[in-house]
């Protein structure tokens, strides 16, 4: 028998054969070079990781927990950490969430995977923002979800289209990122959340509210949440990736009792439990004091980088581009004239040693081009941002003039 790639292909499940590749990862392969200015990544700025505080927290964890750092642990997660999360929800939002309704996951990305496993049957319909978070599109696609896309406007998903698609489809899940969405940076308005909650309330629908950027806020705007209006129909995904460190992979899910029971079974089947030493170290870091000050520092740095990008876009991009100034998060989303292919623009700007992510992969409807793009501002300093945007501006200008 000849073992070749066709043979291996034939072994694959339909689920994985049909799942989209991480386009960003593919594209970044071409863009990773020290002389390329990259707005393509989606990483937190590693210069801001609180390394020495983590060193102290690690030493403390070694002294305090000893061998327990290295032993198997329970599936639900380290109880003091779950209690810390519960207390924080109460202090910040006045929510009373019992620690039994919090499951620690391997990043919030695992939360998505587990939710897909317990809620999605093959071909189940899921309402999703368009453009939407690529990791959610990929994760839910692997579970066999069919996406019903609802376009975003400047304050969240378009309400009329949401209502129409909700009633036309059999969707039982709505996945959204209400604060500083990836990829658009949009913060939902409180009114929008109230109106959407009114549509969803008491109907056969669960909202999955993904909140990794909630604390990365540049203004005093209130962060709206479905949990304030329809708590029994809201599942929250949380993460320490953007406020502390992403590499330890600590996230969590907040879910009602019955769903939590099934999530714990799914988590057990997936990996027994999340790395206990990381949970203990993060807990020691959080309770050392200084976490809020650190988050404020991240917000200040990202806010000034975001301002630099907005200023440079206003100066160097053609007048026809449209964008919403982000109030937080790590991304800025650009709408260009319809005639501009973001894929062609990507190749032309890469020739000028600047990279970004073309809008295409963020659309769950499978289109193969778009006149939109995502720019990341968390990882470049202000001078680099100005230089990169200036180079992009000249390429864009040239493209528009050639029409």
Ligand X SMILES: Cc1ncc(COP(=O)(O)O)c(C=O)c1O
Q: Which is nearer to ligand X, 24 or 230 (CB)?
A: 24
CB of 251 to ligand X, least distance (A): 4
Instruction: Give the rounded distance of the alpha carbon of 122 from its chain centre.
Output: 24
Q: Which is nearer to ligand X, 131 or 393 (CB)?
A: 131
Peptide bond connecting 183 to the previous residue in cis, omega within 30 degrees of 0? yes
Q: Which is nearer to ligand X, 42 or 156 (CB)?
A: 42
Number of H helices, E strands in the chain: 14, 14
Dihedral sign from CA coordinates of 265, 134, 88, 256:
negative
Q: Which is nearer to ligand X, 149 or 341 (CB)?
A: 149
Q: Which is nearer to ligand X, 65 or 213 (CB)?
A: 213
Q: Who's near 65: CB < 8 A, 6+ residues apart?
A: 280
Peptide bond connecting 336 to the previous residue in cis, omega within 30 degrees of 0? no
Residue at shortest CB range from ligand X: 107
CB of 324 to ligand X, least distance (A): 17
Looking at beta carbons, which pairs linking 287-294 to residues 24 or more positions away fall under 8 Å?
287/84, 288/53, 288/56, 288/57, 288/60, 290/50, 290/53, 291/243, 291/244, 294/48, 294/50, 294/53, 294/243, 294/244
CB of 298 to ligand X, least distance (A): 15
Q: Which is nearer to ligand X, 28 or 400 (CB)?
A: 28
How far is 64 from 67, CA to CA, in rounded Å?
Answer: 9
DSSP label of 190: H
CB of 287 to ligand X, least distance (A): 20
Q: Which is nearer to ligand X, 329 or 388 (CB)?
A: 329
CB of 19 to ligand X, least distance (A): 17
Q: Which is nearer to ligand X, 302 or 317 (CB)?
A: 302
How far is 78 from 66, CA to CA, in rounded Å?
Answer: 15
Q: Which is nearer to ligand X, 294 or 386 (CB)?
A: 294
Q: Which is nearer to ligand X, 65 or 133 (CB)?
A: 133
CB of 402 to ligand X, least distance (A): 35
DSSP states along 329-386: SSEEEEE--TT--HHHHHHHHHHTTEE-EESGGG-TT--S--SEEEEE-SSS-HHHHH
Residues that bind ligand X (CB under 6 A): 42, 107-109, 133, 135, 177, 182, 210, 212, 239, 241, 246, 251
Q: Who's near 39: CB < 8 A, 6+ residues apart?
A: 354, 355, 356, 357, 375, 376, 377, 380, 385, 388
Q: Cβ distance 299 to 328 under 8 Å? A: yes
CB of 135 to ligand X, least distance (A): 5
SS3 category, 395: helix
Q: Cβ distance 217 to 328 under 8 Å? A: yes
């Amino acid at each position: 028998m000849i073992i070749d790639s066709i043979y291996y292909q034939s072994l694959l499940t339909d689920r994985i054969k049909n799942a989209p590749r991480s386009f960003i990862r593919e594209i970044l392969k071409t863009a990773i070079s020290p002389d390329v200015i990259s707005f393509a990544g989606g990483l937190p700025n590693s210069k801001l990781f609180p390394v020495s505080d983590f060193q102290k927290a690690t030493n403390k964890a070694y002294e305090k927990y000893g061998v327990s750092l290295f032993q198997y642990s329970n599936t639900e997660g380290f109880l003091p950490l779950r209690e810390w999360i519960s207390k924080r929800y109460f202090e910040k939002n006045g929510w009373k969430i019992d620690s039994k309704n919090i499951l620690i996951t391997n990043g919030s990305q695992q939360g998505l995977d587990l939710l897909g496993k317990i809620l999605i049957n093959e071909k189940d319909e899921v309402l999703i923002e368009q453009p939407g978070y690529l990791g959610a599109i990929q994760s839910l696609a692997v579970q066999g979800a069919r996406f019903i896309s609802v376009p975003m406007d400047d304050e969240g998903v378009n309400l009329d289209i949401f209502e129409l698609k909700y009633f036309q489809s059999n969707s039982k899940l709505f996945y959204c990122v209400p604060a500083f969405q990836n990829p658009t940076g949009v913060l939902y308005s409180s009114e929008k959340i109230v109106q959407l909650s009114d549509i969803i309330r008491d109907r056969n629908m669960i909202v999955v509210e993904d909140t990794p950027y909630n604390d990365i806020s540049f203004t005093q705007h209130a962060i709206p949440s479905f949990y304030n209006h329809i708590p029994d129909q809201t599942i929250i995904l949380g993460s320490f990736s953007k406020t502390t460190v992403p590499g330890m992979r600590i996230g969590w899910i907040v879910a009602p009792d019955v769903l939590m029971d099934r999530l714990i079974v799914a988590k057990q089947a997936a990996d027994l439990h999340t790395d206990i030493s990381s949970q203990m170290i993060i807990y020691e870091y959080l309770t050392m004091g200084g976490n809020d000050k650190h988050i404020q520092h991240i917000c200040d740095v990202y806010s000034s980088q975001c301002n630099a990008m907005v200023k440079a876009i206003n100066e160097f991009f053609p007048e026809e581009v449209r964008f919403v100034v982000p109030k937080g998060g790590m991304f800025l989303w650009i709408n260009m004239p319809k005639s501009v292919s973001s894929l062609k623009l990507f190749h032309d700007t890469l020739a000028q040693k600047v990279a970004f992510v073309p809008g295409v992969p963020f659309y769950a409807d499978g289109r193969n081009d778009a006149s939109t793009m995502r720019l990341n501002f968390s990882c470049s300093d202000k001078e680099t941002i100005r230089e990169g945007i200036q180079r992009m501006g000249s390429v864009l200008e040239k493209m528009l003039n050639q029409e």
